[in-house]
Amino acid sequence: MKRIVITAIVCMMLPSMSMTGTSQEIATAEKPFVPAAFPIYGKGNPFPIYNNGGYPDLLTDSNRLVSSLDVVTKSFSSSSCELVEGSIGAAGSRRLLRFDVAIANIGNADLVVGRPNDPNNPYASSFQFSPCHGHYHINGFTNYLLLNMNRTIAASGHKQAFCLEDLVRYGTGASHGYTCSNQGITSGWADVYSKNLSGQWVDITGVPDGDYILRVEINAANTFFENQNQYSNVFEVGVHLPVTVRTKG
């Protein structure tokens, strides 16, 4: 089956905001995430579930990512979790290109990850406890980069760890109840990391104005088998800093 590679060139205004303080202060300053506001399969979802031979297939919801893009400036202390986890380049005032990442399972089987504290879990070595977040993540599950147009790195990206759980329905079926304590994504459901969460950005401090490519890769370490993998694990979008993003087709 032909694999679908999702690439976009975007053109829209990127709002620029200035913020200081903790991540909690940012979260309360913005409109909270409302899962019911987003489309489900058959009502605007462009990613239909398909027969993947009884395996999951993960993809990034490109529409949601593009519509969520913004730029903020935020201050971090030398003891901040963001500095410890490598999502910023240094303490102090940082300029951040932020975005939502919704990871939908479009294959015809659940992604079953299991319990982080189960020593017999086949993914046990992939779990990492995050003292900053208070739960276990799949280490290096996503990778965020800002590239120059010649595909060299413009801003050092980072590998974002994820706790995989059911948050948004993309299919017609019920959730099988995956949470951070028993991780996975039901077929036709998605996990969502919204842009107000720590690490949901590329640190673009010092990056000059111009045209770039934002590259988001999920299942970056190939931790989970996706069989046909009809939907690419990589999404790229062209971004013009500081104010425009451009969409075509």
Q: In this model, does residue 77 exceed pLDDT 80?
A: yes
The per-residue pLDDT for 159 is 67
What type of residue is 149?
A: M
Q: In this model, does residue 189 exceed pLDDT 60?
A: yes
Contact 209, 241 (CB under 8 A): yes
The per-residue pLDDT for 203 is 93
Which has the higher per-residue pLDDT, 42 or 206? 206
Query: 3-state DSSP call for residue 114?
Result: strand
Question: pLDDT digits over 78-121, tens only?
Answer: 988 888 878 888 999 999 999 999 999 999 999 999 999 899 99
Range from 72-81, 129-138, 167-176, 213-222 carrying the lowest mean pLDDT:
129-138
CB count within 10 Å of CB 4 equals 11
Q: What's the rounded Cα separation, in Å, for the pair 227 and 172?
A: 22
Confidence of residue 17 (pLDDT cuts 50, 70, 90): very low
Q: In this model, does residue 3 exceed pLDDT 50?
A: no
- Which of 44, 56, 37, 97 has its CA nearest to residue 240? 97
Question: pLDDT digits over 152-167, tens only?
Answer: 999 977 766 678 999 9
- Which of 102, 141, 106 has its CA nearest to residue 227? 106
Q: Pairing mode, if any, of strands 70-76 and 16-18? A: parallel
- Which of 168, 182, 211 has its CA nearest to residue 111? 182
Q: In this model, does residue 179 exceed pLDDT 90?
A: yes
The per-residue pLDDT for 120 is 95
What type of residue is 215?
A: R
Question: pLDDT digits over 22-47, tens only?
Answer: 333 333 223 223 233 333 333 445 68
Q: Where are the domains of the chain?
A: 4-248
The per-residue pLDDT for 61 is 92
Query: 3-state DSSP call for residue 93?
Result: strand
The per-residue pLDDT for 34 is 29
The stretch 42-53 carries a mean pLDDT of: 74
Q: What percent of the chain has pLDDT over 70?
A: 76
Distances in whole angstroms, Cα of residue 177 to Cα of each of 46, 79, 98, 156, 190 = 24, 35, 28, 36, 12
CB count within 10 Å of CB 134 equals 8
Q: What's the rounded Cα separation, in Å, for the pair 219 and 191?
A: 13
Tokens of 120: 């017999």
